[in-house]
Amino acid sequence: MSTGLITGAAGGIGSACARALAGSAEVIVLTGRRGEALERIAAKVDGRAAVVAADITTGEGRDAVLAAIEGSLSWVVLASGVPARKPLTELGEDEVTETLAANLLGPTLLLRRLLQLSWQPPAAVVAIGSISATRSLPGRSVYASSKAGIEHLARTLAAEVAASGIRVNVVAPGVIDTPFLGEATAALAEWVDARVPLARAGTPEEVAELVRYLILEAPPYLTGARIAVDGGAETVG
Protein backbone atom coordinates (compact mmCIF):
# COMPACT_ATOMS: atom_id res chain seq x y z
CA MET A 1 0.00 0.00 0.00
CA SER A 2 1.28 3.49 -0.85
CA THR A 3 0.13 6.81 0.59
CA GLY A 4 0.46 10.37 -0.68
CA LEU A 5 -0.17 13.21 1.76
CA ILE A 6 -1.22 16.81 1.17
CA THR A 7 -1.45 19.37 3.97
CA GLY A 8 -3.64 22.40 3.34
CA ALA A 9 -5.58 20.19 0.94
CA ALA A 10 -8.76 22.28 1.16
CA GLY A 11 -6.84 25.37 0.08
CA GLY A 12 -6.42 26.71 -3.43
CA ILE A 13 -2.98 25.23 -4.08
CA GLY A 14 -3.48 22.09 -1.96
CA SER A 15 -6.73 21.16 -3.69
CA ALA A 16 -5.18 21.73 -7.14
CA CYS A 17 -2.33 19.41 -6.06
CA ALA A 18 -4.91 16.81 -4.98
CA ARG A 19 -6.44 16.86 -8.47
CA ALA A 20 -3.05 16.87 -10.21
CA LEU A 21 -1.71 13.94 -8.17
CA ALA A 22 -4.92 11.87 -8.12
CA GLY A 23 -4.21 8.21 -8.72
CA SER A 24 -0.47 8.48 -8.11
CA ALA A 25 -0.68 6.70 -4.75
CA GLU A 26 -3.11 4.02 -3.64
CA VAL A 27 -4.53 6.38 -1.03
CA ILE A 28 -4.15 10.16 -0.86
CA VAL A 29 -4.52 11.66 2.61
CA LEU A 30 -6.03 15.15 2.46
CA THR A 31 -5.53 17.14 5.62
CA GLY A 32 -6.39 20.60 6.92
CA ARG A 33 -8.54 21.92 9.76
CA ARG A 34 -11.91 22.10 7.97
CA GLY A 35 -13.31 18.60 7.51
CA GLU A 36 -16.31 19.56 5.35
CA ALA A 37 -14.16 21.48 2.89
CA LEU A 38 -11.80 18.52 2.67
CA GLU A 39 -14.73 16.15 2.03
CA ARG A 40 -15.80 18.32 -0.91
CA ILE A 41 -12.29 18.14 -2.39
CA ALA A 42 -12.09 14.37 -1.77
CA ALA A 43 -15.37 13.84 -3.64
CA LYS A 44 -13.83 15.41 -6.77
CA VAL A 45 -10.54 13.50 -6.66
CA ASP A 46 -10.23 10.35 -8.76
CA GLY A 47 -9.05 7.35 -6.75
CA ARG A 48 -9.11 6.77 -3.00
CA ALA A 49 -8.81 9.82 -0.76
CA ALA A 50 -8.85 9.83 3.05
CA VAL A 51 -9.82 13.01 4.88
CA VAL A 52 -8.14 13.97 8.15
CA ALA A 53 -9.45 17.15 9.81
CA ALA A 54 -6.48 18.17 11.92
CA ASP A 55 -4.48 21.18 13.01
CA ILE A 56 -0.85 20.32 12.35
CA THR A 57 0.33 22.83 14.93
CA THR A 58 -0.88 20.44 17.65
CA GLY A 59 0.55 17.09 18.71
CA GLU A 60 -2.93 15.52 18.45
CA GLY A 61 -3.31 16.87 14.92
CA ARG A 62 0.01 15.43 13.84
CA ASP A 63 -0.88 12.08 15.51
CA ALA A 64 -4.12 12.01 13.49
CA VAL A 65 -2.27 12.63 10.22
CA LEU A 66 0.29 9.91 11.01
CA ALA A 67 -2.49 7.46 11.90
CA ALA A 68 -4.04 7.84 8.44
CA ILE A 69 -0.93 6.76 6.55
CA GLU A 70 -1.26 3.26 5.12
CA GLY A 71 1.77 1.21 4.11
CA SER A 72 4.70 3.29 2.85
CA LEU A 73 4.76 6.97 2.11
CA SER A 74 5.07 7.73 -1.56
CA TRP A 75 5.09 11.53 -1.54
CA VAL A 76 4.22 14.53 0.65
CA VAL A 77 3.12 18.04 -0.33
CA LEU A 78 3.26 20.68 2.41
CA ALA A 79 0.71 23.22 1.17
CA SER A 80 -0.78 24.53 4.42
CA GLY A 81 -0.11 28.02 5.62
CA VAL A 82 -1.53 31.29 6.90
CA PRO A 83 -0.71 34.86 5.83
CA ALA A 84 0.31 37.63 8.25
CA ARG A 85 0.05 40.93 6.42
CA LYS A 86 1.01 43.45 9.09
CA PRO A 87 4.25 44.94 10.37
CA LEU A 88 5.71 43.06 13.33
CA THR A 89 4.77 45.81 15.78
CA GLU A 90 1.12 45.66 14.70
CA LEU A 91 0.79 41.89 15.07
CA GLY A 92 -0.35 40.49 18.40
CA GLU A 93 1.87 37.91 20.06
CA ASP A 94 -0.81 35.33 19.29
CA GLU A 95 -0.72 36.22 15.56
CA VAL A 96 3.07 35.94 15.45
CA THR A 97 2.94 32.60 17.25
CA GLU A 98 0.15 31.29 15.04
CA THR A 99 1.96 32.24 11.82
CA LEU A 100 5.25 30.66 12.84
CA ALA A 101 3.44 27.58 14.17
CA ALA A 102 1.32 27.06 11.05
CA ASN A 103 4.01 27.85 8.47
CA LEU A 104 7.19 26.56 10.09
CA LEU A 105 6.99 24.75 13.43
CA GLY A 106 3.96 22.54 12.67
CA PRO A 107 5.25 21.41 9.23
CA THR A 108 8.72 20.85 10.72
CA LEU A 109 7.42 18.62 13.51
CA LEU A 110 5.18 16.77 11.05
CA LEU A 111 8.05 16.19 8.62
CA ARG A 112 10.26 15.00 11.48
CA ARG A 113 7.83 12.15 12.05
CA LEU A 114 7.01 11.46 8.41
CA LEU A 115 10.67 11.04 7.56
CA GLN A 116 10.92 8.30 10.20
CA LEU A 117 8.34 6.15 8.33
CA SER A 118 9.04 3.78 5.48
CA TRP A 119 9.02 5.35 1.99
CA GLN A 120 8.67 3.96 -1.49
CA PRO A 121 9.38 5.52 -4.90
CA PRO A 122 8.95 8.23 -5.99
CA ALA A 123 9.72 9.13 -2.32
CA ALA A 124 9.42 12.87 -2.84
CA VAL A 125 8.59 15.84 -0.63
CA VAL A 126 7.58 19.23 -1.99
CA ALA A 127 7.36 22.14 0.42
CA ILE A 128 5.42 25.17 -0.76
CA GLY A 129 7.51 28.22 0.09
CA SER A 130 6.99 31.71 -1.26
CA ILE A 131 8.83 34.39 -3.18
CA SER A 132 8.36 36.38 0.05
CA ALA A 133 11.18 34.24 1.46
CA THR A 134 13.74 36.05 -0.70
CA ARG A 135 12.61 39.66 -0.39
CA SER A 136 12.09 42.29 2.28
CA LEU A 137 8.54 43.46 1.76
CA PRO A 138 7.27 45.75 4.52
CA GLY A 139 4.36 44.17 6.37
CA ARG A 140 5.49 40.63 5.58
CA SER A 141 8.35 40.17 8.07
CA VAL A 142 6.85 37.30 10.06
CA TYR A 143 5.28 35.55 7.08
CA ALA A 144 8.49 35.93 5.05
CA SER A 145 10.58 34.58 7.92
CA SER A 146 8.33 31.56 8.28
CA LYS A 147 8.62 30.87 4.56
CA ALA A 148 12.40 31.38 4.51
CA GLY A 149 12.53 28.92 7.39
CA ILE A 150 10.48 26.19 5.73
CA GLU A 151 12.36 26.64 2.45
CA HIS A 152 15.74 26.31 4.13
CA LEU A 153 14.56 23.39 6.23
CA ALA A 154 13.43 21.57 3.09
CA ARG A 155 16.63 22.26 1.15
CA THR A 156 18.80 21.17 4.08
CA LEU A 157 16.69 18.06 4.57
CA ALA A 158 17.34 17.18 0.94
CA ALA A 159 20.94 16.51 1.95
CA GLU A 160 20.01 14.97 5.28
CA VAL A 161 17.69 12.32 3.81
CA ALA A 162 19.35 11.77 0.44
CA ALA A 163 20.83 8.47 1.55
CA SER A 164 17.30 7.22 2.30
CA GLY A 165 16.34 7.83 -1.34
CA ILE A 166 13.95 10.68 -0.48
CA ARG A 167 14.06 13.82 -2.62
CA VAL A 168 13.00 17.16 -1.13
CA ASN A 169 12.32 20.23 -3.27
CA VAL A 170 10.71 23.65 -2.82
CA VAL A 171 8.12 25.37 -4.98
CA ALA A 172 7.99 29.11 -4.33
CA PRO A 173 4.80 30.67 -5.68
CA GLY A 174 4.40 34.35 -6.45
CA VAL A 175 0.92 35.86 -6.34
CA ILE A 176 -1.52 33.01 -6.94
CA ASP A 177 -5.26 33.51 -7.17
CA THR A 178 -6.54 31.61 -4.10
CA PRO A 179 -8.49 32.45 -0.91
CA PHE A 180 -5.07 33.14 0.66
CA LEU A 181 -5.06 36.61 -0.92
CA GLY A 182 -8.12 37.54 1.18
CA GLU A 183 -8.63 41.27 1.58
CA ALA A 184 -5.22 42.06 0.09
CA THR A 185 -6.46 41.28 -3.44
CA ALA A 186 -6.64 44.91 -4.65
CA ALA A 187 -3.19 45.85 -3.29
CA LEU A 188 -1.72 42.68 -4.75
CA ALA A 189 -3.28 43.39 -8.16
CA GLU A 190 -1.36 46.69 -8.22
CA TRP A 191 1.83 44.86 -7.20
CA VAL A 192 1.28 42.31 -9.96
CA ASP A 193 0.83 45.03 -12.58
CA ALA A 194 4.01 46.77 -11.47
CA ARG A 195 6.29 43.85 -10.60
CA VAL A 196 5.27 40.70 -12.47
CA PRO A 197 6.65 40.44 -16.02
CA LEU A 198 3.77 38.20 -17.10
CA ALA A 199 1.41 40.87 -15.66
CA ARG A 200 -1.10 38.52 -14.05
CA ALA A 201 -1.57 36.40 -10.97
CA GLY A 202 -0.88 32.68 -11.35
CA THR A 203 -3.45 29.94 -10.98
CA PRO A 204 -3.29 27.16 -8.38
CA GLU A 205 -3.24 24.69 -11.28
CA GLU A 206 0.01 26.22 -12.58
CA VAL A 207 1.59 25.62 -9.15
CA ALA A 208 0.17 22.10 -8.94
CA GLU A 209 1.56 21.24 -12.38
CA LEU A 210 5.06 22.02 -11.12
CA VAL A 211 4.50 20.08 -7.89
CA ARG A 212 3.34 17.09 -9.91
CA TYR A 213 6.38 17.35 -12.16
CA LEU A 214 8.76 17.45 -9.20
CA ILE A 215 7.14 14.40 -7.63
CA LEU A 216 6.40 12.17 -10.60
CA GLU A 217 8.43 13.28 -13.60
CA ALA A 218 11.57 15.14 -12.56
CA PRO A 219 14.97 13.51 -13.02
CA PRO A 220 15.90 11.41 -9.95
CA TYR A 221 18.96 13.66 -9.60
CA LEU A 222 16.78 16.70 -8.82
CA THR A 223 16.74 17.35 -5.09
CA GLY A 224 17.32 20.38 -2.89
CA ALA A 225 16.01 22.65 -5.65
CA ARG A 226 13.85 25.71 -5.23
CA ILE A 227 11.75 26.71 -8.22
CA ALA A 228 9.71 29.92 -8.27
CA VAL A 229 6.42 29.88 -10.17
CA ASP A 230 5.78 33.61 -10.14
CA GLY A 231 5.38 34.99 -13.65
CA GLY A 232 9.01 36.12 -13.51
CA ALA A 233 8.66 38.33 -10.40
CA GLU A 234 11.91 37.18 -8.77
CA THR A 235 13.94 37.98 -11.86
CA VAL A 236 13.08 41.69 -11.67
CA GLY A 237 13.91 42.13 -7.98
We find the least distance from the C-beta atom of residue 100 to ligand NAP, in angstroms, to be 11
Catalytic, out of 17, 49, 128, 143: 143
Binding mask 152-191 for ligand NAP (x = CB under 6 A): ---------------------x-xx-xxxx----------
Of 166 and 171, CB closest to ligand NAP: 171
User: What is the total count of residues that contact ligand NAP (CB under 6 A)?
Assistant: 29
Please state, in angstroms and as integers, the Cα–Cα distance from residue 149 to each residue in 22, 36, 50, 106, following that order: 29, 30, 29, 12
Euclidean distance between CA atoms 82 and 32, whole angstroms: 12
Sign of the dihedral defined by the CA atoms of residues 164, 224, 112, 46, in that order: negative
Euclidean distance between CA atoms 227 and 131, whole angstroms: 10
Please give the residues from 62 up to 121 whose contact with ligand NAP meets the rule CB under 6 A: 79-82, 102, 106
Euclidean distance between CA atoms 157 and 175, whole angstroms: 26
The answer to whether residue 143 is catalytic is yes
8 Å CB contact between 158 and 169: yes
Binding site for ligand NAP (CB under 6 A): 7-8, 10-14, 32-34, 37, 55-57, 79-82, 102, 106, 128, 130, 173, 175-176, 178-181
